[in-house]
Amino acid sequence: MARLPRLNLPNIPQHIVQRGNNRQAIFFHEDDYNVYLEYLREALLKHGGSLYAFVLMTNHVHLMVSCKTPGGISGLMQSVGRRYVRYINATYQRSGTLFEGRFKSSLVDSELYLLTCMRYIELNPVRAGMVADPGQYPWSSFRTHVGESVMIWLSEPEEYRRLAATSEARRLAYRDLFSQPLATRDIEAIRGHLNKDCALGSSQFQDEIEAMVGRRAKIAPLGRPRKTDLGE
Protein backbone atom coordinates (compact mmCIF):
# COMPACT_ATOMS: atom_id res chain seq x y z
CA MET A 1 0.00 0.00 0.00
CA ALA A 2 1.32 3.42 -0.95
CA ARG A 3 2.43 5.65 1.89
CA LEU A 4 0.41 8.72 2.67
CA PRO A 5 2.18 12.02 2.03
CA ARG A 6 3.62 13.54 5.17
CA LEU A 7 1.72 16.14 7.17
CA ASN A 8 4.58 18.57 6.63
CA LEU A 9 3.25 22.10 7.04
CA PRO A 10 5.09 25.34 7.83
CA ASN A 11 5.01 26.96 11.27
CA ILE A 12 3.29 24.04 13.01
CA PRO A 13 5.32 22.13 15.63
CA GLN A 14 6.11 18.59 14.68
CA HIS A 15 7.15 15.72 16.95
CA ILE A 16 9.76 13.59 15.19
CA VAL A 17 11.32 10.26 16.11
CA GLN A 18 14.17 8.69 14.17
CA ARG A 19 15.50 5.29 15.21
CA GLY A 20 18.61 3.31 14.47
CA ASN A 21 18.26 0.56 11.90
CA ASN A 22 16.89 -2.56 13.64
CA ARG A 23 16.89 -0.42 16.81
CA GLN A 24 20.67 -0.53 16.95
CA ALA A 25 22.79 2.21 18.51
CA ILE A 26 23.37 5.48 16.66
CA PHE A 27 25.56 7.10 19.34
CA PHE A 28 28.74 5.38 20.48
CA HIS A 29 30.74 8.08 22.24
CA GLU A 30 30.10 11.43 23.90
CA ASP A 31 31.57 13.17 20.84
CA ASP A 32 28.82 11.69 18.66
CA TYR A 33 26.08 13.47 20.60
CA ASN A 34 27.87 16.80 20.21
CA VAL A 35 28.40 16.24 16.48
CA TYR A 36 24.72 15.40 15.96
CA LEU A 37 23.64 18.55 17.79
CA GLU A 38 26.01 20.69 15.72
CA TYR A 39 24.64 19.23 12.48
CA LEU A 40 21.12 19.83 13.77
CA ARG A 41 21.93 23.46 14.65
CA GLU A 42 23.30 24.09 11.16
CA ALA A 43 20.35 22.37 9.48
CA LEU A 44 17.89 24.49 11.47
CA LEU A 45 19.61 27.64 10.22
CA LYS A 46 19.60 26.37 6.64
CA HIS A 47 15.92 25.38 6.61
CA GLY A 48 14.46 28.16 8.77
CA GLY A 49 13.70 25.78 11.62
CA SER A 50 13.11 26.18 15.35
CA LEU A 51 13.91 23.49 17.92
CA TYR A 52 11.69 23.45 21.03
CA ALA A 53 12.68 20.18 22.70
CA PHE A 54 14.88 17.17 22.09
CA VAL A 55 16.38 14.06 23.59
CA LEU A 56 19.18 11.98 22.12
CA MET A 57 18.88 8.38 23.28
CA THR A 58 21.37 5.62 22.54
CA ASN A 59 19.43 4.25 19.58
CA HIS A 60 16.96 6.98 18.65
CA VAL A 61 16.22 10.70 18.82
CA HIS A 62 13.11 12.72 19.63
CA LEU A 63 12.79 16.27 18.29
CA MET A 64 10.09 18.93 18.57
CA VAL A 65 10.64 21.30 15.67
CA SER A 66 8.92 23.62 13.23
CA CYS A 67 10.05 25.11 9.92
CA LYS A 68 8.98 28.26 8.11
CA THR A 69 8.72 26.64 4.68
CA PRO A 70 6.57 23.77 3.34
CA GLY A 71 8.58 20.56 3.35
CA GLY A 72 11.24 22.13 5.53
CA ILE A 73 11.13 19.33 8.10
CA SER A 74 11.97 16.69 5.51
CA GLY A 75 14.85 18.78 4.18
CA LEU A 76 16.13 19.35 7.70
CA MET A 77 16.08 15.65 8.62
CA GLN A 78 17.71 14.64 5.35
CA SER A 79 20.48 17.17 5.90
CA VAL A 80 21.20 16.00 9.44
CA GLY A 81 20.89 12.31 8.59
CA ARG A 82 23.20 12.31 5.58
CA ARG A 83 25.94 14.26 7.34
CA TYR A 84 25.70 12.22 10.52
CA VAL A 85 25.81 8.86 8.71
CA ARG A 86 28.92 9.97 6.82
CA TYR A 87 30.51 11.04 10.10
CA ILE A 88 29.70 7.75 11.88
CA ASN A 89 30.86 5.60 8.96
CA ALA A 90 34.14 7.50 8.67
CA THR A 91 34.77 7.63 12.42
CA TYR A 92 34.06 3.97 13.15
CA GLN A 93 35.15 2.52 9.79
CA ARG A 94 31.76 1.10 9.01
CA SER A 95 29.48 1.21 5.97
CA GLY A 96 25.82 1.01 5.14
CA THR A 97 22.72 2.47 6.67
CA LEU A 98 22.46 3.78 10.22
CA PHE A 99 18.84 4.93 10.54
CA GLU A 100 15.51 3.32 9.78
CA GLY A 101 14.37 4.32 6.32
CA ARG A 102 11.67 6.78 7.33
CA PHE A 103 11.40 8.91 10.43
CA LYS A 104 8.08 9.07 12.25
CA SER A 105 6.34 12.40 12.71
CA SER A 106 3.19 14.01 14.05
CA LEU A 107 1.92 17.57 13.81
CA VAL A 108 1.10 18.91 17.26
CA ASP A 109 -1.72 21.20 18.34
CA SER A 110 0.28 23.76 20.34
CA GLU A 111 -2.57 24.91 22.56
CA LEU A 112 -3.42 21.41 23.80
CA TYR A 113 -0.35 19.26 23.48
CA LEU A 114 2.93 21.12 22.94
CA LEU A 115 4.05 21.26 26.58
CA THR A 116 2.80 17.70 27.12
CA CYS A 117 4.86 16.48 24.17
CA MET A 118 7.90 18.37 25.41
CA ARG A 119 7.55 16.61 28.77
CA TYR A 120 7.11 13.27 26.99
CA ILE A 121 10.33 13.86 25.06
CA GLU A 122 12.40 14.99 28.02
CA LEU A 123 11.12 12.17 30.26
CA ASN A 124 12.29 9.51 27.82
CA PRO A 125 15.47 8.66 29.80
CA VAL A 126 13.38 8.32 32.96
CA ARG A 127 10.90 5.95 31.29
CA ALA A 128 13.88 3.96 29.97
CA GLY A 129 15.24 3.58 33.51
CA MET A 130 18.49 5.39 32.67
CA VAL A 131 18.02 8.15 35.27
CA ALA A 132 15.64 8.95 38.09
CA ASP A 133 15.22 12.62 37.16
CA PRO A 134 15.32 14.22 33.67
CA GLY A 135 17.91 16.72 34.92
CA GLN A 136 20.39 13.87 35.36
CA TYR A 137 20.45 13.15 31.63
CA PRO A 138 22.82 15.45 29.70
CA TRP A 139 21.51 14.94 26.16
CA SER A 140 18.11 16.61 26.30
CA SER A 141 16.61 20.10 26.39
CA PHE A 142 15.33 19.74 29.96
CA ARG A 143 18.31 21.40 31.66
CA THR A 144 18.01 24.44 29.44
CA HIS A 145 14.28 24.77 30.07
CA VAL A 146 14.80 24.76 33.83
CA GLY A 147 17.87 27.03 33.78
CA GLU A 148 20.53 24.45 34.64
CA SER A 149 22.42 24.94 31.36
CA VAL A 150 22.49 27.35 28.42
CA MET A 151 21.71 26.44 24.81
CA ILE A 152 21.21 29.70 22.97
CA TRP A 153 19.81 28.16 19.80
CA LEU A 154 17.00 26.29 21.59
CA SER A 155 13.78 28.20 20.91
CA GLU A 156 11.13 28.99 23.51
CA PRO A 157 7.62 28.31 22.17
CA GLU A 158 4.83 30.70 23.08
CA GLU A 159 3.27 28.09 25.36
CA TYR A 160 6.47 27.97 27.41
CA ARG A 161 6.65 31.76 27.67
CA ARG A 162 3.06 31.87 28.89
CA LEU A 163 3.96 29.85 31.97
CA ALA A 164 5.14 32.99 33.80
CA ALA A 165 6.14 36.61 33.32
CA THR A 166 9.89 36.25 34.01
CA SER A 167 12.55 33.78 32.92
CA GLU A 168 13.17 32.63 36.48
CA ALA A 169 9.48 32.05 37.14
CA ARG A 170 9.06 30.21 33.82
CA ARG A 171 11.88 27.83 34.68
CA LEU A 172 10.35 27.06 38.05
CA ALA A 173 6.89 26.63 36.52
CA TYR A 174 8.25 24.32 33.84
CA ARG A 175 10.05 22.15 36.39
CA ASP A 176 6.85 21.99 38.42
CA LEU A 177 5.10 20.39 35.43
CA PHE A 178 7.34 17.36 36.01
CA SER A 179 6.18 16.88 39.60
CA GLN A 180 3.35 14.69 38.31
CA PRO A 181 3.72 11.79 35.86
CA LEU A 182 2.26 12.04 32.39
CA ALA A 183 -1.24 10.63 32.12
CA THR A 184 -1.39 7.24 30.43
CA ARG A 185 -3.97 8.56 27.96
CA ASP A 186 -1.56 11.32 26.90
CA ILE A 187 1.31 8.87 26.39
CA GLU A 188 -0.94 6.62 24.32
CA ALA A 189 -2.23 9.56 22.27
CA ILE A 190 1.28 10.83 21.55
CA ARG A 191 2.54 7.41 20.50
CA GLY A 192 -0.54 6.52 18.51
CA HIS A 193 -0.56 9.69 16.42
CA LEU A 194 3.20 9.55 15.95
CA ASN A 195 3.15 5.97 14.67
CA LYS A 196 0.30 6.75 12.26
CA ASP A 197 1.74 10.11 11.05
CA CYS A 198 -1.44 11.84 12.19
CA ALA A 199 -2.11 15.23 13.75
CA LEU A 200 -2.26 15.27 17.53
CA GLY A 201 -4.84 17.72 18.81
CA SER A 202 -8.47 18.70 18.88
CA SER A 203 -10.97 17.62 16.24
CA GLN A 204 -11.02 21.20 14.95
CA PHE A 205 -7.23 21.18 14.60
CA GLN A 206 -7.33 17.86 12.76
CA ASP A 207 -10.12 19.06 10.47
CA GLU A 208 -8.12 22.17 9.60
CA ILE A 209 -5.06 20.07 8.79
CA GLU A 210 -7.12 17.74 6.61
CA ALA A 211 -8.54 20.69 4.71
CA MET A 212 -5.05 22.04 4.07
CA VAL A 213 -3.39 18.82 2.92
CA GLY A 214 -6.28 16.86 1.42
CA ARG A 215 -5.61 13.65 3.35
CA ARG A 216 -6.68 12.07 6.62
CA ALA A 217 -5.08 13.62 9.69
CA LYS A 218 -7.01 11.58 12.26
CA ILE A 219 -6.27 7.99 13.26
CA ALA A 220 -8.47 5.76 11.12
CA PRO A 221 -11.00 3.62 13.02
CA LEU A 222 -10.14 -0.05 13.38
CA GLY A 223 -11.98 -2.80 11.55
CA ARG A 224 -13.60 -3.17 8.17
CA PRO A 225 -16.39 -0.83 7.11
CA ARG A 226 -19.92 -2.09 7.60
CA LYS A 227 -21.65 -3.43 4.49
CA THR A 228 -24.12 -0.55 4.52
CA ASP A 229 -21.17 1.84 4.20
CA LEU A 230 -19.53 0.14 1.23
CA GLY A 231 -19.46 2.22 -1.91
CA GLU A 232 -20.57 5.43 -0.18
**What pLDDT score was predicted for residue 221?**
75
Residue 36: CA atoms inside 13 Å, Cβ hemisphere, count?
Answer: 25
Measured between alpha carbons, how far is 193 from 116 in angstroms, rounded to an integer?
A: 14
- Can you give the pLDDT at residue 7? 78
What is the overall mean pLDDT for the chain? 91
Q: What is the pLDDT of residue 230?
A: 30
Better pLDDT: 54 or 69: 54
The confidence score (pLDDT) of residue 215 equals 84
Q: What is the pLDDT of residue 54?
A: 98
pLDDT given for residue 160 in this prediction: 97
Q: Is the confidence at residue 102, as pLDDT, over 90?
A: no
* CA nearest to 81, candidates 98, 94, 66, 64: 98
Q: What is the predicted pLDDT for the residue at 225?
A: 46
What letter does residue 200 receive in the DSSP assignment? B
Residues 21-45: what's their mean pLDDT?
97
What pLDDT, on the 0 to 100 scale, is given for residue 223?
Answer: 52
Neighbours of 103 (CB within 10 A): 20
Give the percent of the chain with pLDDT over 70: 93
Contact 186, 123 (CB under 8 A): no
Q: What distance in Å separates the CA atoms of residue 19 and residue 199, rounded to the nearest whole number?
A: 20
Q: Is 124 exposed, middle or buried (0-12, 13-18, 19+ CB in 10 A)?
A: buried
Q: What is the share, in percent, of the chain residues with pLDDT greater than 90?
A: 81
**How far lies 57's CA from each of 8, 71, 122, 207, in Å?**
24, 26, 10, 33
Instruction: Report pTM.
Output: 0.92
199 vs 101 pLDDT, higher one: 199
Tens-place pLDDT, residues 32-42: 999 999 999 99
Structural domains in the chain, CATH included, are 14-219 (3.30.70.1290)
Q: Does 226 have pLDDT greater than 50?
A: no
- Residue 208 burial by Cβ neighbours in a 10 Å radius (0-12, 13-18, 19+): middle
